[in-house]
């Protein structure tokens, strides 16, 4: 049996690497959310590496889905690994949990050796949704916005490959990371799944009694020169559509956090920040609040999950329309990966720019999405989605 692994890579030379068998909680039904909190409570004082499927919304928001589930990813997993180490420049800095041994050091070093020569993926991806159908859905969603049902919605489509054999999954992760170079990048290896994530987005972080959320809304391609790059960043910052998308999600996050925040503690720390990544520029805002000691991890999930940047506003209505118009269950895509530290602090990303691989049925999924507002132009939205996904898919096969 393969050794379970979680590697959370900040792409600044630092990261956290977890490995080895340990207690594991898997949520597969809609009735066990409190059991998740019980597992967390029972393993207080340990590192808990966690995946949260977008479809956990069915439990939290009282929704359901009849769309096909090709990923078959669990609603949630929590794993207390045998060993956790901090990483500095692809080497062990220190053991954070578990004792050191020559065998463990060899295992970690061998993982990072795969970074040296990652091979192409060679997967034949296809879009589940035709361009014609995509454009029709965007028009229909714009009609819903015009009628006042929603203000904004994140509409996604799936690119997928079947009968994919991945012999060296760590190489696939490092290949993706060469392309994305993102601060919330991660690799998860579980018994039935491999997850290759190049996310630039934080969902939520807890530091003592402070919560921080950093939604991304607004995307621009990178320029071919420094001068063009500067111009594209300026265009993104001043684009009325992108600013409208961003501020609507900021308001949604403020509303979510206010459900659990101390009175008058919700704050917008940064609005319309422009950040540059390997393949795109992004508009990111930062919202924070303070919470009482009694607020639990699942209390926070109930108030904030799924993240507004991947749903739309109002959140419940947007999610209903997502189920109506999308033709697949998102699974881990649009969900979150992160860890809970022994002291209860945590940090979770948004699973975007990612490949999710079911090792049993050899199914590889790479969804992509974008925010739709009344100002959206269907052709432009289609092009933006393709810009995002093709930079990954073409790069992975190169």
d(CA 259, CA 291): 10
Mean of pLDDT over the chain: 95
pLDDT bracket for residue 67 (50, 70, 90): very high
Residue 219's pLDDT is 83
Burial of 374 (0-12, 13-18, 19+ CB in 10 A): middle
Q: Is the pLDDT of residue 29 over 80?
A: no
> Could you tell me the end-to-end alpha-carbon distance of the chain, in angstroms, rounded to an integer?
31
Residues labelled catalytic: 201, 217
The SS3 assignment for 75 reads coil
As a three-state string, the secondary structure of 307-376 is CHHHCEECHHHHHHHHHHHCCCCCCCCCCEEEEECCCCCEEEECCCCEEEEECCCCEEEEEEEEEECCCC
pLDDT bracket for residue 363 (50, 70, 90): very high
Q: Is the pLDDT of residue 220 over 90?
A: no
pLDDT bracket for residue 79 (50, 70, 90): very high
Residue 180's pLDDT is 93
Residue 170's pLDDT is 96
Residue 241's pLDDT is 87
The SS3 assignment for 106 reads helix
Residue that is written with structure tokens 């080497």 in the block:
91
Q: Summarize the confidence of residues 179-191 as an average pLDDT.
A: 96
Residue 64's pLDDT is 85
Q: Summarize the confidence of residues 159-169 as an average pLDDT.
A: 96
Percent of the chain scored above 90 by pLDDT?
Answer: 88
The CA-CA-CA angle for residues 240, 130, 163, to 5°, reads 120
d(CA 277, CA 179): 10
For the segment 249-286, what is each residue's pLDDT rounded down to a tens digit? Answer: 999 999 999 999 999 999 999 999 999 988 889 999 99
Q: Summarize the confidence of residues 138-153 as an average pLDDT.
A: 97
> Model-level pTM?
0.95
Residue 30's pLDDT is 61
Residue 167's pLDDT is 92
Phi-psi category of 182—alpha, beta or left, where left has phi over 0 and alpha has psi -120 to 50?
beta
CB 179 within 8 A of CB 198: yes
Q: Is the pLDDT of residue 292 over 70?
A: yes
Q: Summarize the confidence of residues 128-151 as an average pLDDT.
A: 97
Q: Summarize the confidence of residues 349-377 as an average pLDDT.
A: 96
pLDDT bracket for residue 100 (50, 70, 90): very high
Residues 6+ positions from 312 with CB-CB distance below 8 Å: 150, 151, 152, 153, 154, 318, 319, 321, 322, 371, 372
Domain borders along the chain are 5-397
Query: Taking the CA of residue 242 as centre, how many other CA atoms within 13 Å lie in the half-sphere pointing to its CB?
Result: 24
pLDDT bracket for residue 398 (50, 70, 90): confident
Q: Is the pLDDT of residue 31 over 80?
A: no
Give the residue, 280 or 290, on which the prediction is more confident. Answer: 290
pLDDT bracket for residue 221 (50, 70, 90): confident
Q: Summarize the confidence of residues 308-322 as an average pLDDT.
A: 96
CA distances from 165 to 119, 178, 359, 361 (A): 13, 21, 8, 10
Given the candidates 3.40.50.720, 3.60.120.10, 3.40.80.10, 2.70.210.12, the CATH classification of the domain at 5-397 is 3.60.120.10
């Amino acid at each position: 049996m393969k050794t379970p692994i979680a590697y959370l890579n900040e792409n600044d030379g630092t990261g956290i690497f977890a490995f080895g068998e340990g207690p594991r909680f898997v949520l597969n039904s809609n009735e066990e959310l409190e059991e998740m909190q019980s597992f967390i409570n029972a393993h207080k004082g340990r590192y808990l590496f966690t995946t949260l499927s977008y479809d956990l919304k069915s439990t939290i928001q009282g929704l359901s889905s009849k769309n096909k589930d090709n990923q078959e990813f669990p609603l949630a997993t929590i794993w207390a690994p045998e060993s956790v180490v901090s990483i500095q420049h692809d080497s062990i800095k220190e053991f954070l949990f578990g004792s050191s041994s020559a065998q463990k050091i060899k295992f970690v070093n061998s993982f990072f050796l795969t970074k040296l020569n990652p091979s192409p993926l060679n997967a034949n991806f296809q879009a589940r949704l035709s361009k014609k159908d995509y454009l029709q859905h965007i028009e229909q969603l714009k009609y819903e916005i015009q009628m006042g049902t929603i203000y904004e919605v994140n509409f996604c489509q799936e690119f997928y490959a079947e009968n994919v054999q991945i012999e060296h999954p760590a190489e696939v992760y490092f290949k993706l990371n060469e392309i994305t170079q993102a601060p919330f990048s991660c690799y998860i290896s579980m018994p039935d799944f491999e997850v290759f994530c190049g996310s630039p987005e934080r969902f939520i972080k807890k530091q003592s009694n402070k919560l921080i959320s950093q939604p991304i809304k607004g995307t621009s391609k990178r320029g071919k020169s420094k001068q063009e790059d500067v111009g594209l960043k300026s265009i993104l910052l001043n684009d009325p559509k992108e600013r409208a998308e961003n501020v609507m999600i900021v308001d949604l996050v403020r509303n979510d956090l206010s459900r659990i925040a101390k009175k008058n503690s919700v704050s917008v720390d940064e609005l319309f920040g422009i950040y540059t990544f390997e393949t795109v520029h992004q508009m990111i805002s930062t919202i924070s609040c303070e919470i009482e000691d009694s607020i639990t991890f699942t209390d926070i999930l109930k108030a904030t999950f799924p993240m507004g940047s991947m749903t739309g506003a109002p959140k419940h209505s947007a999610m209903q329309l997502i189920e109506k118009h999308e033709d697949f269950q998102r699974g881990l895509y649009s969900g979150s990966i992160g860890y809970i530290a022994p002291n209860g602090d945590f940090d979770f990303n948004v699973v975007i720019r990612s490949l999710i691989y079911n090792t049993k049925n050899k199914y590889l999924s790479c969804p992509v999405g974008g925010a739709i507002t009344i100002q959206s132009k269907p052709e432009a939205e289609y092009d933006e989605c393709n810009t995002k996904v093709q930079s990954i898919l073409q790069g992975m096969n190169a």
